[in-house]
Amino acid sequence: MNSPHPEHALMDIAARPAAVMVRGSGSWLEDADGRRYLDFVQGWAVNCLGHAHPAIAQALAEQATRLVNPSPAFFNDASIRFANRLAACSGLDEVFLCNTGAEANEGAIKLARKWGRLHRNGAHEIITFTDGFHGRTIAAMSASGKPGWDTIFAPQVPGFPKATLNDLASVEALIGPQTVAVMLEPIQGEAGVQPATLDFLRALRALCDARGLLLILDEVQTGIGRTGTLFRYQAAEITPDILTLAKGIGGGVPLAALLARKSASCFSHGDQGGTYCGNPLMAAVGNAVLDIVDTPAFLAGVRERSAQLIVGLNELVTRFDLVGVRGAGLLLALELGPRHDATALVQRAREAGLLLNAPRPHCLRLMPALNVSADEVTQMLAMLAALL
């Protein structure tokens, strides 16, 4: 395949294939050579409605003719509506709209540290988890437990002791006078789709309540229907004190949110902001996404496709003597075992017209559009079987 842009000025930050993507529709991407790919990555769970969904295109087009960015110094109607809807469906009280998951997580860290200064004698430490991932800014990388990230841009920001997922004793052992919060992903995506059990989430909520700590949930990847409920914490029947959202919340555009209970929301004027934060163009898309995703019928469809995909993947596990399947909704991992090189398999899949992701050496991560069809799931399973 010959790239139509053999020379370009894009910084070399990833090992990208030569293909240049030029259009997409639903579960399909097309490159400049006209080759089509069945996309089960969807921008790392970003395109919750697939590529070029007409509702998103319409929201962008209509809002762009009215108002794009009046500046964060003024209210705008699209962001007010979106924030009110997020508060209502999440059970939280206040919303700060921003652009990326890392930015939302930075905001959560800042909010927790200020809350600790006001209410816990200056406590600032946030217990996070080994193998966690919270973004690529310096503080978010420090909060993350991804192997090797403690040295890339050293020194790290201090104040993020690491516990072990699903081990409540490891969390309790780290709590001290400087502890202000516990922060985690309900499912660790970059670690290979490693779920926190629902019992563990409930136990963390109880522990934080008993010790006067904030519970921060990073639902950047799991939020907005990805796991079959609008938010993963709803499956555990708990509510966090602080919540971060991104990826699917904008259906492909740069949109994120920091949500908090009123009791945890303590920013003063000037503490938080951003030139593009809460701009109506992105908020209009967020409203369009919620119009579709935040309905019982749509979420039931996610669970139906999830059940179909899990059955099919488990058939592959039996047929090819693989290790197993884990995850929830349409955020799933297929653990291949040491006989299979997941990175090589992803490359061969791409050459065959199927886009997959390998977060770990022997693990595939599947993140299709939430409106993927039954036929497309069947087609993906057949393609993967042929590759295996």
Is the per-residue pLDDT at 292 higher than 70? yes
Q: How confident is the model at residue 13 (pLDDT cuts 50, 70, 90)?
A: confident
Residue-level pLDDT at 375? 98
User: Catalytic residue positions?
Assistant: 133, 218, 247
Residue pair 109/126 in contact (Cβ under 8 Å)? The answer is yes
Residue-level pLDDT at 150? 86
Residue pair 354/38 in contact (Cβ under 8 Å)? The answer is yes
**Residues 139-194: pLDDT tens digits?**
999 999 999 888 999 999 999 999 999 999 999 999 999 999 999 999 999 999 99
Return the beta strands (E) in 273-362 as ranges.
324-328, 331-335, 354-355, 357-360
Q: How confident is the model at residue 2 (pLDDT cuts 50, 70, 90)?
A: low
Contacts (Cβ under 8 Å, ≥6 apart) of 379: 38
**Both structure tokens of 68:** 């794009």
Mean pLDDT score of the chain: 96
Question: How far lies 62's CA from each of 215, 275, 280, in Å?
Answer: 38, 22, 11
Query: Cα(26)–Cα(59) distance, rounded to whole angstroms?
Result: 17
Query: Based on the number of CB atoms within 10 Å of its own CB, is 300 exposed (0-12), middle (13-18) or buried (19 or more)?
Result: exposed
Residue pair 233/217 in contact (Cβ under 8 Å)? The answer is yes
Phi, then psi, of 187 in degrees rounded to 5:
-135, 120
Residue-level pLDDT at 4? 59
Q: How confident is the model at residue 218 (pLDDT cuts 50, 70, 90)?
A: very high
